[in-house]
Amino acid sequence: MGKKRIHQLLTHMKENQQAELRNAAAIYTVAQVAVNELAAIAPALDTAETKKRAIAPISSTPALPPAVPTALTQEDLLQRYGSYNGCRSAAKKLGIHFPKTPSWPQLITAFSYVDLFRHLIQDYAQQQRIPHLSGVQFTITLT
């Protein structure tokens, strides 16, 4: 390879690295907003009265619509997917992964929150005008 081609490749690598850093920062920001929203609504899940409260917007980011997870039951999931294994298969297709065999409460909670997470991230990406993330999938691990 000639010096010109090597220089071209190095320049291209540096540009790619910068783009990856920008993407990582965007991913971190979206994940942080989702975590903050969840922290804000976690106490609201304890009582029916507090479920009706709107979530206070986070001061450092634009206001997002109030986020309340879908109230699902084991019967709802059985009606939708037919069986426990059908629920696990559907969860896998939605990108929900469990560290071990999930219990019914874990499945119910995961299905309750999956749409909420998707909408929060989509709303944030639209508000921040991040058009190049269309079709991109992220895996976020909750601890």
Residue with tokens 């850093």: 21
Helices of type H across the chain: 3-41, 48-51, 74-81, 84-93, 104-127
Tell me the percentage of the chain whose pLDDT exceeds 70: 81
Going by C-beta distance under 8 Å and a sequence separation of 6 or more, which residues neighbour residue 128? 26, 29, 62
Hey, which of 44-53, 94-103, 112-121 has the most confident mean pLDDT? 94-103
Q: How far apart are CA 141 and CA 27, in angstroms?
A: 13
The pLDDT tens digits for 5-24 are 888 888 888 888 887 878 77
Whole-angstrom CA distances from 84 to 24, 88, 89, 92 are 36, 6, 9, 12
Return the pLDDT at 61.
53
Whole-angstrom CA distances from 31 to 14, 57, 69 are 26, 16, 17
- Name the average pLDDT for the chain: 79
Report the b/e string of 106-126 with b at 16+ CB within 10 A: ebbebbbbbebbeebbebbbe
| pLDDT reading at 123 higher than 60 | yes
Among 50, 52, 25, 55, smallest CA distance to 37 is for 55
